[in-house]
Structure 1
Amino acid sequence: MRGTMMVLCCAALMGCRASAPAAATPQDAFWASLQALCGRAYGGRMAVGSAPADTAFAGKPMVMHVRRCTETEVQVPFHVGDDHSRTWIITRTAAGLRLKHDHRHADGSEDRVTQYGGDTRGPGTASTQEFHADAHTATLIPAAVTNVWTVEVVPGARFAYALRREGTDRRFRVEFDLTRRVPPPPAPWGYSDGD
């Protein structure tokens, strides 16, 4: 009887192991790495810039601040010198992840070109997610219909934001050093310290 009970117990334990929860998806792991940065700010630099307009970033101090996090949204203001107009907003959707660009003027009003971005089309990796331009972006900025934005989080090493425009030479990339925190900057334009 005792031997039978031991066999049953072992079988039950093995069954429990077999039905353990599946490992996290790459997007779950990416989201966890992003959430782990909440409240922190890091300095960065432009690593790649292929358009004339990108010269506006050259030599200016850059700071990304993972400012606000909920279960479904992370807001990351991107400060370039005294320009506090840009906030990257990453949200979880039923289909994956979405990236939007919130552009504001100093008075807090929305820029004419704002809320563009796109969605993931696959699981990506634990460190890198790609966002393909959506229909709103194509209408707002026709040239950006083939845009693909990349957000990369390598814990303890690097946060990067990049843009490539498929079929063209358009490239942009900024990188932030996750080994060196900096003081959080002021609230981005259109937001308050209480947000």
Structure 2
Amino acid sequence: MILRTTAIVLAGLLALPGHAAPASDARDAFFANLGKLCGAVYEGASVAPDDGGEAFAGKKLVATVSACSASEIRIPFVVGEDASRTWIVTRTPAGLTLQHDHRHADGSPDEQTMYGGAAGSDGSAIAQRFRADAYTARLIPAAAANVWTLSVSPDGRKLSYVLERDGKPRFRAELLQTRVPNR
């Protein structure tokens, strides 16, 4: 009886905001795999579109998997000299979310920040697709149909970030590991 009561209390605590649910599907496996990469640094470039007209074209892209906890992983994403972006992957009772935290040089939030979406149940342990949420649709109406995909190669050496809008590719970054995770 005591064990059953303890299990019920723990399940109730995990359902509270800010507490991650126990691992149960590919979203949790993806989060665990990403967490194993804490401390890893990835460098690369924009590979699509390849017409040179994209804002990130020709700029060095660097993503660092950092600030990893049981419920959140922060990945600062530097474009050239611009360190204003951080991807935030959060474990929630409903699954995973991806948010884009944009800051000014003084640390204050950009007016277009914290947009993103939630992962559906169709991802895998190495790739998750995050569909734009209602907040994103209100903040950036053109992004209402966005889908962001984060993927990590099975060996952890390659990180990809893809943006689709209206079912069409809009941006793709391919990054290779230059520093291994903290172990």
User: Which band: TM-score by shorter chain?
Assistant: 0.7 to 0.9
Identity value in percent: 52
The 8 Å contact of residues 50 and 171 in structure 1, kept in 2 or not, is answered as: no
Distance in 1 (alpha carbons) for counterparts of 2:140 and 2:87: 17
Between Structure 1 and Structure 2, whose CA radius of gyration is higher? 1
Report the residue type matching 1:31 in the other structure.
Answer: F
Distance in 2 (alpha carbons) for counterparts of 1:49 and 1:86: 20
Q: TM-score when scaled to structure 1? A: 0.74
The 8 Å contact of residues 28 and 95 in structure 2, kept in 1 or not, is answered as: no
The 8 Å contact of residues 37 and 156 in structure 2, kept in 1 or not, is answered as: no
**Which residue pairs with 2:143 in the alignment?**
144
The 8 Å contact of residues 42 and 158 in structure 2, kept in 1 or not, is answered as: no
Paired residues, number: 157
In structure 2, stretches of 5+ residues that fail to align are 1-22
1:28, distance to aligned residue in structure 2 (A) = 2.5
Q: Extract structure 1 runs of 4+ deviating beyond 3 A.
A: 50-53
**Which residue pairs with 1:164 in the alignment?**
164
Distance in 1 (alpha carbons) for counterparts of 2:36 and 2:76: 16
- In structure 2, the CA distance between the partners of 1:40 and 1:124, relative to structure 1 (3 Å rule), is same
- In structure 2, the CA distance between the partners of 1:44 and 1:89, relative to structure 1 (3 Å rule), is same
- Give a deviation string over 1:159-195, Cα, whole Å, max 9, x none: 111100125x4510111113x328xxxxxxxxxxxxx
- Give a deviation string over 1:50-95, Cα, whole Å, max 9, x none: 79862x3111111100121000000000001110000000001111
- Give a deviation string over 1:107-150, Cα, whole Å, max 9, x none: 11111111100001214111110001001000001111110010
Instruction: Report SS of the residue matched to 2:111.
Output: coil
Q: How does 1:14-25 map to 2 (within 5 A)?
A: 25=25
1:151, distance to aligned residue in structure 2 (A) = 0.5
1:49, distance to aligned residue in structure 2 (A) = 2.6
The 8 Å contact of residues 43 and 181 in structure 1, kept in 2 or not, is answered as: no
Q: TM-score when scaled to structure 2? A: 0.79
